[in-house]
Structure 1
Amino acid sequence: MAAGGFDARFVDRLSDRHTCTICLLALREPTVTKCGHLFCNNCVRLLARCGRIVCPVCREEQNESEIYPNNYDKREIMSLKIYCDQQEKGCGWKGELRERETHNETCGYVDVLCYDCEEMVMKKDIENRTKKTCKNRKVECVYCKTTVTFTFLNDHHGKCEMYQVPCEYCKQRVARREMNKHVSKDGTCSYSSLACEFREAGCQFIGNRKALKNHLHYELASHVSLLMKQQSKTKSLLSSTRACLAKRECELENLKLFLTKNITMPVSQPDIFVYEWNITNWSFWCTSDLDNRILSKPFYTGPQGYCLCLRLFPAGFGDFTGSHVSVDVFVHKGDYDDQLPKKQHCKFSFTLIDQQPDAINVVVRREKTVELIPGKYFDATNDFNSRNIEFTILRS
């Protein structure tokens, strides 16, 4: 029973007097009944939960008030010699039962949790594990002094700039970040392949450092010849480049003159320009305030044309309030107004399209010729006699 006596390894055989007949372990807080039998205090109290206490030995019914602690036997039991609970793991401690808890707190054979790898380890080994054997211990890279997890140390070495890697030519180990310098012309590698410094002039020699030194010493005349040929080619290329640049400068000046002459002229407007305005949530606009209006985004009639903006009254405007949809157009301030006529007649065609399911597509179409005057509104619809629709306005 979990709440019963001491489950310990006793040096001498435990006597029957010191054994609880309920849990069969060494008595813990021994109590004596009126019939003279000894039990663990917790064991006999568990019997009391059943409503009546009957001695398991003599079957005599007991009264809970007649059960008393037995300190004499308690002292005897606590003085009994026991082995450490971790005896099988190698602990050789032996002492009195009363010293058990104190010993367990310091016993090196008790299992504790390694917080790096979350495995159970004997307490005496935990320090060595966290420093030397745990796979998740923290270690310092001997090359760059960065702290990394031991499991990922090899991955770190694979990209560590200070890690020593072998040179492919001389096999000497050099820091990764110094390798390019090591095999370069000014480096220390004696076997790396180096190109002749006159390579751009046409010399194709490639060899190790010693061979390159001899090549430069004995091939001086051929290098001078290569430089003379390169100089001749460079002069020819320079002359050709100058001629090409002169031609491009002439073309650029002509283009500037053309743009200067034509940029101030308005670009001719297309015969037909379509602007589509899709208004959603039409039922909301119709049920809102009668003075409500919707503005479109500004748009141009074409490249370098007039800038216009549509204004729509879902509930109508003026005499048509409450019965029609009214639309007018505002000539907005645009970027090209100073290049356009102050007044210009323009023909507008408005098309109202019903987008609801099973509806007639084109509800109504209006055409009107108006005069564009910057900063002025003008009626462009003659008012549409319809309100309960979702629609698109097209201007052409």
Structure 2
Amino acid sequence: MVCPVCREKEVVVYINKQLDREVWSLHVMCTNREKGCEWQGELNDINNHLGNSDGCQFDNVKCSNECGKMLQQRYLTSHVETECPCYKDMHIHTLMPKQWFDVFLVKTWKSTRKSVLFRKLSAHINVGQQRYLTSHVETECPYRKVDCQYCHITGEHQFIEGEHKEQCPKLPISCLNKCGVGSLPREDMEAHRKECPLEMVQCAYHNVGCEERMTGKDLEFHKWRNIYH
């Protein structure tokens, strides 16, 4: 290997295994986070998350029928079964005489498994696509309007579940001191910390030289110890 600084060609490079392990164990978020994926984990696991069909449903993949379309993994099955022009049942017309159109029955997609006249197949597909669109708009679209279940403001789903959730004043959270208080609205947490027995506080006599810090529950004992000793 050539050194990038001195250009020496006979350079032996050793891998720092400890540093390598530390890097691969770093906590990361999915690269599709802006699309809605909430996966978090170690850097070492992100390739497994992105690299298989059971992983990130927001990752872009090619249609498995090779129609050329790129779409998110979570839409692939629906695309293949209801939209893709390369779906194998769609090629039946290459083997079918035109006079059979009114008598030949074909199976529709897995979602219904109905039999319809071939000439009505396109109309049937359009109905299926419309149903899929309605379902997407109502339950999947990141831009659909929803209410925050805690403070009840209305906004786009991706905003409510993302940026807003990180600062919602009514969102129930647990005390960071792990004192046992949970499901407390975020806006009340500051007041709780002033009373929390595990919150770190200064000695009441810090203005006259005592620099010790202790939890709230130990404050009285600390004061007693300084007074009588």
TM > 0.5 fold call: no
Structure with greater strand share of residues: 1
Larger radius of gyration: 1
Q: TM-score, normalised by structure 2?
A: 0.43
Q: TM-score, normalised by structure 1?
A: 0.27
Structure with greater helix share of residues: 2
